[in-house]
Amino acid sequence: MRPLSTTVSLMIKEALRSILPDRTAFHLLATALGRAVQHGSLVVVDPWGQRHVFGPDDTPTASIRLTDPRIPGRVLADPMLGVGEAYMDGTLVLEQGSLRDFLMMGASIASDFASPSQKPQRPNPVERARANVAHHYDLSEELYRLFLDPDLQYSCAYFQDGDESLELAQAKKKRHIAAKLRLETGARVLDIGSGWGGLALELASRHGVEVDGLTLSQEQFKVATARVADGGLEPHVRFHLRDYRHETGVYDRIVSVGMFEHVGPTHYGEFFNIVHRLLAPDGLAVIHAIGRTGPPSGCDPWIEKYIFPGGYCPALSEVFTAIEPSGLRVTDVELLPLHYAETLRCWSERFRAHRARAAEIYDERFCRMWEFYLAACEAAFRGGNMTVFQIQLTRSIKASPPTRDYMIDEERRLLV
């Protein structure tokens, strides 16, 4: 059952969608845009053919045409959902500027159009988690190969110098994490949310550790398992179709990259309690995930509906509140927001370059959805309050040196 506040919010949205006359809705939207666009210039051609200019600049940053009279009411009801669906449907047409230009403008004025989304509080049991993972990660492997690097790294790369290729930046990301893990030959490592296996394979082949990877994605499990055989790494790397809540081993190191976003706020305490239980007394863990630098907030309704059902990017305050009673110690924190913005820019460019093939695998509407997803996320990291955090955790204060010098020294050694 939905909370009463959520139900009321949904009723208000539906009223805005269906009750407001189309021209009245556009007038309200235009008034809001007139207040909100403080930089650049946005041109909107309304569904009746009239041109409207918002913002102080003479040269438009972006120009769009709305072809459906219902769009203004939908945007007022839920800005991100309304804009995203209109772009997917082809009823919001870009006439000047790129989708990236348009969404970067949107990120700068987002506070004036805050959606009344509620923070998710629903439980995320294993079967629901499995279904949510399948929605996104069990898409065609070929789709992901169109825009990811050959190692299929689907998380924030590490642009240490700023001009790296995507391949090099992803390699540096893996080495950056390895340096924080302080790996020793023969150590047992648990990879929670192991994806297509690239990080686990790197840790085993370069550092001589034993890795168990956990995933709920059938497609990722299939690819990762094949890669173990192809790389001759049996029995040093093992992948399992298993929820982290069902893991029973004890590990010297635990790493999790891009999985915590799928845990759900009601399970944060459980997650860190399990990390504590699985981690050896002198062990060390690194959690890499998307979060936000502002206070706790609702999910983006378009992302939740079309891209990551059940996903939630936490405020750092929510993460630390969950860690504190677990018995784990936070020994290092690093934030990498612009690194993910650059990663998403690279993915967007590669997807556009292979868009025709993506349309053959799926269809035009899917391609528009994927374009919007990548561009909107880049805008959120560049102009919003989204970030990527890496948190190092230990059970014993002796597990991590008193300064960060060891990370830098190890990373330099690994890059040789």
> Cα-Cα-Cα-Cα dihedral of 116, 122, 124, 129, to 10°?
-40
Give the start-end residues of each E strand in 170-270: 188-192, 210-215, 237-241, 251-257
Residue 377 falls in the annotated catalytic set: yes
Phi and psi dihedrals of 263, rounded to 5? Answer: -75, -45
Give the start-end residues of each E strand in 150-232: 188-192, 210-215
Please answer whether residues 105 and 61 qualify as being in contact, where contact means their C-beta atoms are separated by less than 8 angstroms.
yes
Residue 235: cis peptide before it, omega within 30 degrees of 0: yes
To which H or E segment does residue 305 belong? helix 301-306
What does the alpha-carbon distance between residue 210 and residue 233 come to, in Å, rounded to a whole number?
10
Q: DSSP letter string over 84-132? A: HHHHHHT-EEEEES-HHHHHHHHHHTGGGG---PPPP-----HHHHHHH
Count the alpha carbons within 13 Å of 405 in the hemisphere toward its beta carbon. 3
Please answer whether residues 312 and 261 qualify as being in contact, where contact means their C-beta atoms are separated by less than 8 angstroms.
yes
The length of the chain in residues reads: 416
Residue 397 tokens, joined? 């204060």
* Given 313, 346, 367, 377, the catalytic residue: 377
Catalytic residues: 377
